[in-house]
A and B are shown apart, each in its own frame.
Chain A
Amino acid sequence: MKKILEHIEQVNKSGRKALSIFLTTGFPEKENFVELATTVLDSGADMLEIGIPFSDPLADGPVIQASSQAALENGITLKDVFYYCDKISVKTDKPLILMGYANPILKYGIKNFCKDAQSSGVSGLIVPDVPLEEYESFYADDFKNFEKILLTTPTSSDERIKAIDQQSEGFVYCVSVTGTTGIKSNFDENVLKNLERTYSLVNKNKMLIGFGIANAENIKTFAPYCDGVIVGSAVIKKISEAKSFSEVGEFVKSLSAACAK
């Protein structure tokens, strides 16, 4: 398994911010999902967050909700998620991170989940409904081989951000704004002040900024306050609208270019 932290360090050493792209498993279609993932990686994504679809994604805005619903209608289960991760991981040296809500993981069984995630080449996990308070109750020892990524938000106190930095592995996922996932595109002074504050408090880990990033311009705005960025809804929206995967690839290339100094 590739270590996420080491990978981000390498990317940063080459003079770039790391670019993580979120894809909902099996969206828009099951059949060519591996092709889509490969296109995104070949277009300059440094790692992939593979979304596990859930019926009630309460941290997500309309775009990812719709993709999650479509994936469920395409019949995607965790077994499929592992199948695709396996197919993707053999084609790349870049890390794969699973992002999903607690319940499908619990239902699959922690032991089975960890075994299957490991054998399909998954490096890390992001579970947005498991905050610091539930870390111990959720992350059993079985998860020890995964980098478990925690989130900070503008409402997190300085003390909390430090505690999250201590507990998090791989990187700290800094949520740019209060709210659900989705395209925001304009960020006021308070948003940037908070990013600056958070970045100064995250010392053990690398820090990636996510939520709301729409385009290359946003990435340039955020670049001074992070080691990388995460783009989800904007890519999912592009996938929904694009006539071909190469259009998606072009969009990812524009994001990747913005990550270079």
Chain B
Amino acid sequence: MKTQTAYNFPDANGKFGIYGGKFVPETLISALDELEKLYRAARQEKEFQDELDLLQREYNGRPTPLTFAKRLTDHYGKAKIYLKREDLCHTGAHKLNNALGQILLAKKLGKTRIIAETGAGQHGVATATVCAKFGLECVVYMGEVDIERQKLNVFRMKMLGAEVIPVKSGSKTLKDATNEAIRDWVTNVSDTHYIIGSVVGPHPYPMIVRDFQSVIGAETKEQIKSFENRLPDYVVACVGGGSNAIGIFYPFIDDENVKLIGVEAAGYGLDSGKHCATLTLGEPGVFQGMKTYLLQDANGQISAVHSISAGLDYPGVGPEHSLLKDIERVKYASVTDNEALDATLQLSKLEGILPALETAHAIAYLNKLMPTTNKDELVAVNISGRGDKDLNTIISQIGEKVL
């Protein structure tokens, strides 16, 4: 591994090495500048941190547990496996960590209207939740394909008082919902704050979302130290846009002996052309405000991608992951739809935890990782969300296996 003497990104220009930046229409520059200035000040303020900590504790339910997975560990008979339980966050996934932080920023900015994009619906639900709690108007953009496969979350958002706008353009999934949210923001920037749900988009979003999510890794570090008196040997997380992964990786980046592994969605298989393995098979380009690895065709058009999990169904990835790949600090692997479905059943039956299909990609990678580990090693897996939202998809895919 090439070592970094001091990992300190993004730089003053919002770049992670050559990645990131602000590739957006001029209209948004002033809002991005204002957001960055306000955020940099807020994170130094004790009052802001105290308010956020209180919300994380008393509303979100943090700290989330780090659960020793005894039967899963016995199943492989190798390293000990710990599960970081973001599925136990209020609303069922890590997404609320970020939404809580950003709603406080929106309040400070004096914005009265909140917009968000969502794929699996977890970020949409988290945003609708904080808007309900703080009494702000909420509009969520969601692709028509995702609305169909995540009906439960659409209903939840509506119950929480959000308006869900179906996106009919392009592939009708997360990337198109993001385009539509950006177009809304360009139009209504004076009264609207855009709560981006992952570590993607223009600077300062990848930094802000990472910082709010890194509570996951910070807690994991303390918890595993208290159980084992040392750091884990491996940390594993799924990667779509990459917010849960950055959240758990970031506090470990300077701990060079901790191996970090991001697991992408290989869909029907890497050679099928129908996958979302952006870091595995993509190449650098510019998309949705950032320079980053992308899945694109020979003419630079963004590819139609596929994953069984709506939350990973995205042709780009957070720019910090692009840097972490290039400097070889994180290893990126991938698993298929079918491997993820099997892992969903496996974790349900062995640990009594039904993971989200996104999360199941990280679990599925254990089949590849565990045989290479030793009994005295430790593996931490980020259980980024729970799988209740995916029951329709799971029933239609493997219903007969369960019955």
Contact = CB atoms under 8 A, between A and B. Distances in A.
Interface residues of B, number: 38
Interface in A132-175: 132-134, 137, 150-157, 160, 164, 175
Nearest to B182: A58
B182 A107 contact: no
Contact of B302 (A55, A150, A154): A55
A129 B289 contact: yes
Nearest to B29: A131
A153 B179 contact: no
B29 A65 contact: no
Interface of B: 13-14, 21-31, 169-170, 175-176, 179, 182-183, 186-190, 285-289, 291, 294, 296, 298-302
A69 B190 CA distance: 30
Task: Categorize the interface residue count of chain A.
Answer: 35 or more
B128 to A, nearest CB: 23
Chain A CB within 10 A, most for which of B21, B179, B299: B299
27 contacts: A54-B300, A55-B301, A56-B170, A56-B175, A56-B287, A58-B179, A61-B183, A65-B169, A72-B301, A103-B287, A104-B300, A107-B300, A108-B299, A129-B23, A129-B24, A129-B25, A131-B24, A133-B13, A134-B22, A137-B21, A153-B27, A155-B28, A157-B30, A160-B29, A175-B27, A178-B186, A179-B187
A58 B170 contact: no
Contacts of A180: 183, 186-187
A106 interface: yes
B299 A104 contact: yes
A125 to B, nearest CB: 15
B301 A129 contact: no
A129 B296 CA distance: 17
Interface in A27-63: 54-56, 58-59, 61
B24 A103 contact: no
A156 B30 contact: yes
Nearest to B180: A58
A102 to B, nearest CB: 4
Given A55-B302, A61-B183, A102-B286, A155 B169 contact: no
Given A78-B300, A101-B286, A105-B300, 6 more contacts: A78-B299, A103-B302, A129-B289, A131-B26, A133-B21, A178-B188
